[in-house]
Amino acid sequence: MAPSHACYASRMRREITQRELRNESGEIMRELDRGESFVVTRNGVPVGELTPMRRRRFVAATAAIAAFAGAPGIDAKRLRNDLDAGIDQDPAPRGA
């Protein structure tokens, strides 16, 4: 059954001691690869967090082209006019 709120879907971070980090670093790295997160403690006090890096998703050029195939064309003159209008704004602060 899916949780009713997205915030409950995230995994709990496991507490590990500084000693566990040192002695079991290989296993901890493998768990990071699997998406696990950790709070590192020293003498029972949290001192840091280990979280997996976000992985970049590769999108093939053909998939990107297909995704934008139905997008409207760009009117270069209109785009330039819009950009110019934005650039030509008065930079003086407003209000007193």
Tokens 């949290």 correspond to: 46
d(CA 25, CA 20): 7
Total count of domains within the chain: 1
Q: How far is Cα 90 from Cα 24, in angstroms, rounded to an integer? A: 61
Q: What is the pLDDT of residues 35-60, one digit of tens each?
A: 999 999 999 999 999 999 887 788 89
Q: What CATH number is given to the structural domain containing 19?
A: 3.40.1620
**Residue 73: inside a domain:** no
Mean pLDDT is lowest, of 11-20, 28-37, 45-54, for 11-20
Whole-structure pTM value: 0.48
Q: How far is the C-alpha of 71 from the C-alpha of 75, rounded, in Å?
A: 12
| 93: in domain | no
Structural domain containing residue 20: 9-50
Is 90 contained in some domain?
no
In a domain, 70, yes or no: no
Encoded tokens for 7? 């915030």
Report the pLDDT averaged over residues 74-92: 85
With tokens 């296993």, the residue in question is 27
